[in-house]
Structure 1
Amino acid sequence: MRDVARSIVVGAGMVGLATAWHLQEQGVEVTVVDRTGVAAGSSWGNAGWLTPGKAIPLADPSLWTYGPRALIDPDAALHVPFRVDAALWSFLARFAAHGTHRAWDRTMAALTPIDRMALECFDELGAGGVDAWTREGPFVIGFAEEAHSPGFLREVEGVIRHGQDVPFERLDDPRELAPQLSDAVKVAYRLDGQRFLEPAPYVEALAASVVARGGELRTGVAVTAVSGGTQPSVTLADGERLEADSVVLATGAWLPQLARALGVRTRVQAGRGYSFTVATEQPAVHPVYLPFQRIACTPYQGRFRIAGTMEFRRPDEPPQARRIQAIINQARRLFTGVDLEHREDEWVGSRPVTPDGLPLVGATRAPGVYVAGGHGMWGIVLGPATGKLLAQRIVTGETHPAIAPFDPLR
């Protein structure tokens, strides 16, 4: 076990900042470094869902029928650019190999312990001074027809089978809770036991709490190299070298740039999501999910955030306007009183996806250097629990069973 008095966390998203906050709880001095700023990556424009009941494997058997559509349908929720990219196609082959019932159950069993901890970890942050809210649902789940719902129902039943409490019931009229849904939505359910937040304000409040508790936050500073050993260190783009007793890499879809040299061989692919906000005729109060279209919506600062798509491109590629249009095309007939023509906050963010659907949390081969990432779409909801358990691992040397399956050297 190392004597850890100081730590450097690279990455100021939800996962990195939660790790920094929990290291402070363990008495560790922290410096957080980010090449851009707080919540600058996938923590900014996502749907803000705190839904452990939906933190499930991304690959499932439907991938085998839906996947080919991603290559030919410009409006498909899953988009794969048709290009010569050996690394991308290698990732997709491994990802698709996990699209079986057996693999889904195996991954779900590994995710369930941390899923069950997720919401209480938000309560812990709130009790510890993070000045931002989380709110209960319900979440309204809508389908244009009955034939579109069995996949969602199987997912919920699978989550319950693995030990989570996920209350849901059929709704007679979803418009009582979500007047934004049009009459084209014929089948709907109410999902309870979940929460949501406004992601950027929440992560900013978490950063403010880290600073208020004595942490240092350095933004606009890129890390170019990481070294382990008796005195782990990071080297900044300007040549400055920072030393500490431990280093945590929480750089999302950019994790391989630094972690691969440290023995982390599991590929992390950017699964890019898009979102925007719109005005609504009636106030949006509850989150809405359209599973068949893979569209997630949340009340956001007096507007309605609409998020969707999974686009497998490199994380720094420019936004593709066609992906925003695809979301609009899919959503148009299912919403009413929603101004899709006057959009604000258009955004693309790179979510870190692993082939087996499991995060990468734990020690690398470099002594004193750790990683926390690869959460796919679930970095917001699982970030606080990840940070808590990784901080304990760094300080005590003991790995909590909930993160044991996430060994980054697997």
Structure 2
Amino acid sequence: MDEHTRIDGGPRTAVVVGAGIVGLSTAWFLQDHGVEVTVVDRDDVAAGASWGNAGWLSPGLAIPLNEPSVLRYGLRTLLDRDAPLHVPATLDVGLWRFLTRFAAHCTWGAWQRAARANLPLNAECLAAFDVLAAGGVSAPTVSAPITALFTSRGQATGLLRELRRITAEGGEITYRGLSGDEVRDLAPQASPRIGAGVRLEGQRFVDPGAFTRALADSVRERGGTIRTGFDVRDVRPHDHAVTLEARSGELVSASAAVLANGSWLSRLSRRAGVRVPVRAGRGYSFTVPTDRPVPGPVYLPDVRVACTPYRDALRVAGTMEFQGPDAALDHRRIEAIVASARGLLDGVRWDERRDEWVGPRPVTPDGKPLIGATAAPGVYVAGGHGMWGLTQGPITGQLLAEQIVTGKRPEALRPLDPLR
């Protein structure tokens, strides 16, 4: 035994790269095992995709992106800047290589494998939030159904088909169809154009920025350190320790290191032998006032827009833009969301919007996140959750902390092996 190893064989210390929901959850659950943690981030807590997303905790809708219809839709709208799925004109060879791999996984066989791989995370994700709440994370989660809106019953068939496929793979989802009048009773923002709906029970939502900051506060209160402005440029494993070097030249060493830096993951994980790429699928959001209170989350599947009660207003989120994670916000993407949703929702004051935001969501080509040990001793990764990082972040941290401390990989993480 050495200074970096506890008497039970687990690590004494760990450094986590990334102060978003996934990294902070991993740090929190490592603390539950008695590990001393340091979290580093190049910016600040919740500075990436963990702040402006829709805030859904929605295991019922955590469906893999690599469905065959997504490929058909993407090819049809490739040159349409206003489409929900957008790839800007670019000479980025790495992006086109990634999209080629993604397209190769848009088959029903690959989708089934991704769906089955994600099921254990979805089954336990809400329980992991409950553990955090019981352990002192003060931000609340709100139980509420998600109501999907459609202009006709025929348009609802696509979502119903997806839900049936997930339940056929073993997912537990409670849902029912709604008439237009039923939808307007349950979702007063639904416009007269809405003729049908689907209501998913057993879901929740949060203020994602507030929740992530509360999680960071809990990590600190439990003795952890969070260092912002620490931009990691190198990861160096040694015997029984790992050293991270920042661009400033600062060093941090610990028994184990967890790379959980979202859409920037591949820059560091490649050094640890991870060959599955992660690219930014950027999402946009903004907040708008409404004439009437919003009782719960509303989903517009046909235009791929998610709406959530947020600070006495409505947060509206949408699009999947394959662009560099640090690219500037494109106001045309915001306008496209407004144009697509305006006719479907009433009593929304679109011209009074605020908090316009873009955030990079880490996407893998095969629809499965990367969670577990790498080829570099003592180095682990946690990322690539796509649109479902908030939903799956705490359960990811709980399972990965177990693997790091015990040396035994939970069965749920086997299909998510970063070295696959």
Q: TM-score, normalised by structure 1?
A: 0.98
1:68 Cα deviation after fit:
1.7
1:185 Cα deviation after fit:
1.1
String of CA shifts for 1:110-158, please: whole Å, max 9, x gaps.
1111110111001111111110111111111101223322221111111
Identity, % of aligned pairs? 53
Q: Distance in 1 between matches of 2:65 and 2:26?
A: 24
Q: Distance in 2 between matches of 1:303 and 1:297?
A: 10
Which residue of structure 1 aligns with residue 5 of structure 2? none
The equivalent position to 1:16 in structure 2, one of 15, 23, 29, is 23
Q: Distance in 2 between matches of 1:222 and 1:154?
A: 44
1:333 Cα deviation after fit:
0.4
Q: Distance in 2 between matches of 1:8 and 1:329?
A: 44
Aligned partner letter, 1:324: I
Which residue of structure 2 aligns with residue 79 of structure 1? 86
The equivalent position to 1:196 in structure 2, one of 205, 208, 212, is 205
The equivalent position to 1:91 in structure 2, one of 73, 95, 98, is 98
String of CA shifts for 1:250-301, please: whole Å, max 9, x gaps.
0000001111111111111100000000000001120000111100010011
Q: Distance in 2 between matches of 1:266 and 1:237?
A: 25
| SS of alignment partner, residue 81 of structure 2 | coil
In the alignment, is residue 347 of structure 1 matched against residue 357 of structure 2?
A: yes
Which residue of structure 1 aligns with residue 191 of structure 2? 182
1:236 Cα deviation after fit:
1.7
Q: Distance in 1 between matches of 2:140 and 2:132?
A: 10
String of CA shifts for 1:344-398, please: whole Å, max 9, x gaps.
1100000000000100111111111111000111110100010011001111100
Which residue of structure 2 aligns with residue 319 of structure 1? 329
Mean Cα displacement is larger for which, 288-297 or 83-92? 83-92
Which residue of structure 2 aligns with residue 30 of structure 1? 37
Aligned partner letter, 2:346: T
Which residue of structure 1 aligns with residue 303 of structure 2? 293
Which residue of structure 1 aligns with residue 111 of structure 2? 104
Whether contact under 8 Å (2:16, 2:39) holds in the other structure is yes
1:222 Cα deviation after fit:
1.2
The equivalent position to 2:172 in structure 1, one of 165, 181, 190, is 165
1:17 Cα deviation after fit:
0.2
Which residue of structure 1 aligns with residue 4 of structure 2? none
| SS of alignment partner, residue 281 of structure 1 | coil
Which residue of structure 2 aligns with residue 224 of structure 1? 233
1:37-56 counterparts in 2 under 5 A?
37-56=44-63
Q: Distance in 1 between matches of 2:238 and 2:162?
A: 44
1:63 Cα deviation after fit:
2.1
Q: Distance in 2 between matches of 1:313 and 1:147?
A: 33
Whether contact under 8 Å (2:153, 2:197) holds in the other structure is no
TM superposition outliers: structure 1 runs of 4+ over 4 Å: none
1:2 Cα deviation after fit:
5.0
String of CA shifts for 1:70-116, please: whole Å, max 9, x gaps.
32323211001122222111111111112122211111111111110
Aligned partner letter, 1:269: R
Whether contact under 8 Å (1:63, 1:96) holds in the other structure is no
Q: Distance in 1 between matches of 2:285 and 2:390?
A: 15
CA RMSD of aligned residues (A): 1.1
Aligned partner letter, 2:31: Q
Whether contact under 8 Å (2:64, 2:111) holds in the other structure is yes
Which residue of structure 1 aligns with residue 285 of structure 2? 275
Whether contact under 8 Å (2:284, 2:318) holds in the other structure is yes
The equivalent position to 1:61 in structure 2, one of 43, 55, 68, is 68
Whether contact under 8 Å (1:70, 1:80) holds in the other structure is no
Whether contact under 8 Å (1:4, 1:245) holds in the other structure is yes
Whether contact under 8 Å (2:371, 2:381) holds in the other structure is yes
Q: TM-score, normalised by structure 2?
A: 0.96
